[in-house]
Amino acid sequence: MITIGVYGGTGSGKTTIVSKIISEFPTNEIQVISQDSYYKDTSHLTFEERCALNFDHPDAIDFPLLYQHVNSLKNGDNIEQPVYSFETHNRTKETVTVVPKKILIIEGILILNYPKLRSLFDLKIYIDADSDMRMERRVSRDISERGRTPEEVLNRYLNTLKPMHKQFIEPMKVHADITLENHQNTPLNLSELIDKIKTLSK
């Protein structure tokens, strides 16, 4: 198994690029684990308290569990991946069984901030996009997919996401094996990246 870390700021295009990578491989050879599934359990907090949490800080992620799960998959074991609800800002009681495959992609904004997890990646891909483009994409997504208001999303971006990006995400760019520039809403040519992944996974 090869493990690939795909990271970058919110709205940088990680999900779109990962989807394009997946489409180039048979479904029985590749799978994705999202950092978003590993937000810490916050059942001990009220909904209002959960809404006030900073979900863009590394402390919001259950990195020990994510590391354990990636390590287990690399060792050939199945895992029970948590299921997270953005509506309740908490994990559900459900899990999803994930089985080892030839290629494992882990994607998320903070996956490089945990050194033990970072050490498991065979290839690290940073998606770079300018701040205005990322804000536009984030606002559009959170309104259409997560039921947020424009004011709520914009305030969160300016007061939380942007400073967290500068503090925790952008500095991790130095660890990238490949940096993809994704500053426009136009398809990227991923042929070289796909070829590299195919070579690594042989």
Domains and CATH numbers, the chain: 2-196 (3.40.50.300)
Q: How many Cβ atoms sit within 10 Å of the Cβ of residue 7?
A: 26
Spatial separation of the C-alpha atoms in residues 6 and 122, rounded to whole Å: 11
Spatial separation of the C-alpha atoms in residues 38 and 36, rounded to whole Å: 5
In this model, does residue 121 exceed pLDDT 90? Answer: yes
**Mean pLDDT for the stretch of residues 142-156:** 69
pLDDT of residue 122: 97
Spatial separation of the C-alpha atoms in residues 76 and 9, rounded to whole Å: 31
pTM (predicted TM-score): 0.87
Distance of CA 16 to the CA centre of its chain: 11
Residue showing tokens 């690399």? 74
pLDDT band at 37 (very low <50, low <70, confident <90, very high): very high
Distance of CA 109 to the CA centre of its chain: 5
| CA nearest to 42, candidates 89, 80, 96 | 89
pLDDT of residue 81: 98
Left if phi > 0, otherwise alpha if psi is -120 to 50, otherwise beta: which for 89?
left
